[in-house]
């Protein structure tokens, strides 16, 4: 036998495990938030199917292609996706990823679906997330809601490029930002003019997510200021609306999904909400997409750490398994604490989205921004450390680590980058006193869970006795989000996990992972293990 053909001490890929059944921390956090266990068991089992996993890899490896014109020179502005992309959207939308919370389900169940989907193929979350988030924004215009809400909540995926009225189910995207303004939406220059009982739009959008959606929510200036509009891709007569796809973005990550630059050339549009109230109208959609951008990074961290755990448990060095070596165990346990906190915090926020009281709704407005900020600052570091556990193999596309690493920064940028989110936190505190009261009550509710938590809560109250200034916004967001994560863990995680988080995250922290002291890695590593 050729000695070079023998492969030893090289772990094969992990089995395509059921991501719901194999994730005890997820089940604890999601069920505590009120998620539907049966629905999530079905979703996890579907995501574990080998054919679905192959579809996910193929969708990521074969990016979408833009076709602007047909052979005759007529504009078609069509994006062609790999069949794997359609398979993933068919699964997610068919099982209620977008429709569930609006048809008797819960946002906590939706959040768990986001997390589970992100562990397998995060790029395809985008069009489903926007479809989910568009539904509450439609309430600003009852006539449009009556027409479009049933289509958005049909729990069906129909990729046909035909008018929405002829489809079984539809998707909806978003096009807000422009070159000159970015997050400063008031700098938008796209114009809207009334025409024949509707409106016509002229201008450009620097980012249009999921450009094959059946309609888009967008912003344009009218005589009364920035206004929200619904822009269908196809006109009622079947013709293509005047939305020109200029190019697809050549992105760092998120390869399965398409993002485009577009121009409106007299595009037909329907006003959504009052003139001049466009930002307030579309922010209802943004509020819900932010839930997903707070949850998805936890899913990415879980996927990366599952790979790291598998490698460490099956690879030996210096006559011992990697996972049995104290330094590796400490690194993995440290990373597991980051995941535990992110997961608990995300599902505390999801529970608030399901809340019926004014206090819970106010809490959701504030806490979703805190969770988005913290979880997305943690995600790139956790994924990079997990990649390092595999060494050179972690840098190779044969593993999912490069895909996860490319994806890791995305949710921190989408729907408001770090500074934008921190300033939004300050605005919410100033404009919504009930949010500050709900935050204080939530933090106080975990008092007594550990000495470390109580000391950190007292220090937080002393430091932030007055409202933070703009320059302090990041410090406040980080301090507060970490406390919220610790409070959530105190309610849903074993005492040894919640206590370790409070002891190592609420005081001075070292920069690198694997430096925690006084923590037993064993229970944390056990919760990383599949099953």
Residues 334, 50: Cα–Cα separation, whole Å: 31
The residue with tokens 């949010």 is 435
Half-sphere exposure for 76 (CA within 13 Å, toward CB): 14
| Predicted confidence pLDDT, tens digits, the chain (531 residues) | 576 778 888 898 888 899 999 999 999 999 999 999 999 999 999 999 999 999 999 999 999 999 999 999 999 999 999 999 999 999 999 999 999 999 999 999 999 999 999 999 999 999 999 999 999 999 999 999 999 999 999 999 999 999 999 999 999 999 999 998 878 888 899 999 999 899 999 999 999 989 999 999 999 999 999 999 999 999 999 999 999 999 999 999 889 999 999 999 999 999 999 999 999 999 999 999 999 999 999 999 999 999 999 999 999 998 999 999 999 999 999 999 999 999 999 999 999 999 999 999 999 999 999 999 999 999 999 999 999 999 999 999 999 999 999 999 999 998 899 999 999 999 999 999 999 999 999 999 999 999 999 999 999 999 999 989 999 999 999 999 999 999 999 999 999 999 999 999 998 877 889 888 889 999 999 999 987
Residues 311, 152: Cα–Cα separation, whole Å: 41
Residues 433, 49: Cα–Cα separation, whole Å: 47
Q: Which residues pair with 228 in a beta bridge?
A: 219, 272
- Residue 48 corresponds to which tokens in the numbers above? 């574990």
Fold that domain 280-508 belongs to in CATH: Butyryl-CoA Dehydrogenase, subunit A; domain 3 (1.20.140)
- φ, ψ at 172 (rounded to 5°): -135, 135
SS3 for 75? strand
Residues 375, 296: Cα–Cα separation, whole Å: 9
Intervals of CATH 1.20.140.10 along the chain? 280-508
Residues 132, 170: Cα–Cα separation, whole Å: 11
CB 484 within 8 A of CB 367: yes
Where are the strands (E) in 177-285, listed by range? Answer: 191-195, 198-209, 215-222, 225-232, 243-248, 259-272
Residues 343, 3: Cα–Cα separation, whole Å: 46
SS3 for 70? coil
Q: What is the CA radius of gyration of the chain?
A: 23
Residue 67: what pLDDT? 98
Residues 239, 216: Cα–Cα separation, whole Å: 16
Angle between helices 326-353 and 107-120 (to 10 degrees): 140
Residues 264, 173: Cα–Cα separation, whole Å: 15
CB 262 within 8 A of CB 203: no
Intervals of CATH 2.40.110.20 along the chain? 24-276
Nearest to 298 by CA among 444, 171, 125: 125
The residue with tokens 């398979």 is 87
Q: DSSP characters for 272-317?
A: ES-TT-HHHHHHHHHHHHHHHHHHHHHHHHHHHHHHHHHHHHH-EE
Residues 16, 25: Cα–Cα separation, whole Å: 19
The end-to-end CA distance of the chain, in Å, is 37
Fold that domain 24-276 belongs to in CATH: Butyryl-CoA Dehydrogenase, subunit A; domain 2 (2.40.110)
- φ, ψ at 240 (rounded to 5°): -80, 130
Q: Which residues pair with 234 in a beta bridge?
A: 240
Strands 198-209 and 225-232: unpaired
The residue with tokens 């934008």 is 420
The residue with tokens 């995600």 is 379
Q: Which residues pair with 202 in a beta bridge?
A: 191, 265
220-239 in b/e burial notation, b at 16+ Cβ within 10 A? bbbeeebbbbbbbbbeeeee
Farthest CA pair distance, the chain: 80
């Amino acid at each position: 036998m050729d000695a070079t053909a023998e492969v030893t001490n090289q772990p094969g890929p992990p089995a395509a495990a059921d991501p719901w059944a194999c994730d005890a921390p997820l089940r604890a956090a999601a069920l505590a938030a009120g998620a539907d266990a049966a629905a999530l068991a079905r979703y996890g089992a579907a995501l574990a199917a080998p054919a679905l996993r192959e579809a996910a890899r193929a969708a990521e490896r074969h990016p979408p292609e833009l076709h602007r014109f047909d052979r005759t020179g007529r504009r078609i502005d069509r994006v062609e996706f790999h069949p794997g992309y359609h398979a993933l959207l068919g699964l997610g939308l068919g099982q209620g990823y977008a429709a569930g919370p609006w048809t008797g389900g819960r946002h906590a169940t939706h959040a768990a679906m986001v997390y589970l989907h992100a562990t397998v193929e995060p790029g395809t979350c985008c069009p489903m997330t926007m479809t989910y988030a568009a539904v509450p924004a439609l309430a600003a215009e009852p006539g449009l809601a009556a027409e479009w809400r049933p289509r958005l909540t049909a729990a069906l995926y129909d990729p046909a490029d035909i008018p929405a009225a002829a489809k079984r189910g539809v998707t909806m995207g978003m096009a807000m930002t422009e070159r000159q303004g970015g997050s400063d939406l008031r700098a938008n220059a796209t114009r809207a003019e009334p025409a024949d009982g509707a409106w016509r739009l002229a201008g450009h959008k620097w980012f249009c997510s999921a450009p094959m959606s059946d309609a888009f929510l967008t912003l344009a200036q009218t005589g009364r200021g920035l206004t929200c509009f619904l822009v269908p891709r196809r006109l009622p007569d079947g013709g293509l609306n005047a939305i020109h796809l200029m190019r697809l973005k050549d992105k760092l990550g998120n390869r399965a999904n398409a993002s485009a630059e577009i121009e409106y050339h007299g595009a037909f549009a329907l006003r959504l909400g009052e003139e001049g109230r466009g930002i307030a109208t579309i922010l209802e959609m943004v509020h819900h997409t932010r839930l997903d951008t707070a949850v998805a990074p936890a899913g990415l961290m879980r996927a990366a750490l599952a790979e790291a755990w598998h490698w460490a448990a099956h690879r030996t060095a210096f006559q011992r398994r990697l996972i049995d070596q104290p330094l590796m165990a400490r690194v993995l346990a440290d990373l597991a604490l980051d995941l535990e906190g992110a997961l608990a915090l995300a599902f505390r926020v999801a529970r608030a989205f399901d809340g019926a009281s004014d206090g819970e709704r106010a809490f959701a407005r504030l806490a979703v921004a805190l969770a988005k900020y913290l979880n997305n600052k943690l995600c790139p570091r956790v994924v990079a450390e997990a990649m390092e556990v595999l060494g050179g193999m972690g840098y190779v596309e044969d593993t999912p680590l490069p895909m996860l690493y490319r994806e890791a920064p995305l949710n921190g940028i989408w729907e408001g980058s770090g500074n934008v989110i921190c300033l939004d936190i300050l605005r919410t505190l100033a404009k919504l006193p009930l949010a500050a009261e709900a935050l204080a009550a939530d933090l106080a509710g975990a008092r007594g869970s550990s000495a470390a938590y109580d000391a950190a809560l007292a220090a937080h109250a002393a430091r932030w006795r007055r409202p933070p200034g703009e320059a302090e916004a990041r410090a406040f967001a980080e301090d507060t989000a970490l406390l919220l994560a610790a409070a959530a863990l105190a309610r849903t995680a074993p005492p040894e996990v919640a206590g370790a988080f409070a002891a190592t995250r609420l005081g001075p922290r070292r920069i690198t992972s694997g430096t925690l002291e006084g923590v037993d890695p064993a229970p944390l590593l056990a919760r990383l293990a599949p099953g």
